[in-house]
Structures are given as C-alpha cells and as structure tokens.
Structure 1
C-alpha cells in the first residue's frame, strides 16, 4: 500500500512539473513582423476597394482603428491609396492575400463559402499584414492563419502592431 501511494504521489508531482515546464499559455505568443508594410511616410494606411465585401473591410478597419485610431483611412480624392482591395476567383486553397506591391485580394472561390465572422477574421488578418504583422500561433491571435472566427485583437496582436508602428 505504501509503495502504491508513493507511486501516485510521484506521478502527480511529475505531471504537475511537466505541465509547468511544457505548457504554453494559449493567449500568449511572440510578436513577429514580416519585414514590410504598406503604411506611408505620414503613418497612414489609405485604402480603396472594388469588392463586394466592402462592409466586411470597413468592419475590419474598425477593429484596428479601435486600438490605434487615425492610421487606417479610406482613400480620398487628394490621397493615393496605399492598398487596393479587390476580389478574384481562383480554384485554390488561398483564402486571401496581401502583397508588398499594395494589393489585398479576397479569393471568392473560398470567401463566398465563409460566414460573416470568418470573412471578418480574414479581413482583419489581411489588414494586419498591410500594417506589417506576420503570422503568429497564439490560440486567440487574429494573425493566426486559417478559417477562424477570431475577431478581436489579442495582446500579441496589439504588441505586434505597437512594434510595427515604431518602425513606420
């Protein structure tokens, strides 16, 4: 009996130690920048679009602007856009893509099958790339890749944006 009790105590201690050593807090991941952004020298990201997902784009902008206002703005007659947003159709696994050349495009082949929360996540995520953020792996990060419904910025998303902003 004594040996069995000691065995269970030992297993319990090992299990707790392993959990402490090897657990990763899913709310935390490391900030990561991609090496480029579409923010202009005035620290603005001006956008224009020809997309049927304009309301989703506007909602995504509101999420980023809620954290750091005055950066992302719609294009105007006197300002040339930094990013142009449009739809395309391609039978592939690509959901959307933002390029250093100043384009953000949504693949209608995939996007039309998404619900509004998944579309919003994708648009927020793509604006993150335009702001200079790279993919992260935190469970609650907007910058996590995939068909997700994460529609609020995590601490990692915010700290990544803060780090990117310091480079503009």
Structure 2
C-alpha cells in the first residue's frame, strides 16, 4: 500500500446501534456521510451468522469486521475502515463472554496502533476493562504496536 494512504490523525465514529439491520440507514445518513470518519465502530449490532457478511457495506469502506454473538440475540461488534487504511484484524484469544475486537493500524510514519473495540454489557461488570488493562502491555509487545486506542461502550442502566 502506498505510504500516502496512511494517516497520522484518525477519526472514529463509535455507536451503540441497538440493531445494525434496523439502524444502518440512520448511522449512514446522520453520522457517516456528514462526518466522513476513517473508522466506524458499532456495538450491539444484534447480527448473527445468518446475516450475510456483505450486509450493510458502506461505499468507500471495507466490509464489516464482525464479532457476532452466537449464543445470544443481543450484543455483537462490527467495525469497518476507510478504503486505503493500512489495517489488520487480530485474532486474540480471550474468554468467550468478552466482546472485544482488536486491530493493528499503521500510520504514515510507520508507527503502529493497537485498536480495541469493546462492548461491555452492564452484567459483565469490570471483566472487559480488567482484561484490557491486564493484557495491554503483552498485546502491544506481541503485535509490535507503539500506541493504543481503545473505546469501551456499555449499556446504560435502565431505571428501576
């Protein structure tokens, strides 16, 4: 990939979509088109293996990198990247109940960034945060990353 496609500054849209199938249009028209982000990170996608991998592909972006919830109808993560970004999805071993997706990105200066997109349902407590902070140094070292970006989205407590 040509070095001029790499960036030093990245823009990210992070959204709890509460159903990507039903809210994909709103995501695109209200956020993606006006803001033209480099990375789109969504949680609570409610996608499952029966939804085609090319569902909701956005022109000018990669296909969604999905982490569907297999044993539950809620949750899920989907992330896509602007075409031309130097990015690699990472396969990280972790407990099955954790909903984290990791990516390695390269900047124009060939620095590397470890991006973690996390969905933290209220019932998980501090498990996802403890995993990230407990493993961050080893993940950075293992994947030769200089910097880290992580974003945690969780469900808000409902009034009771």
Same fold per superposition (TM over 0.5):
no
Between Structure 1 and Structure 2, the one with more helix by share is 1
| Higher relative contact order (CA closer than 8 Å, sequence separation 6+) | 1
Between Structure 1 and Structure 2, the one with more strand by share is 2
**Greater CA radius of gyration, 1 or 2?**
1
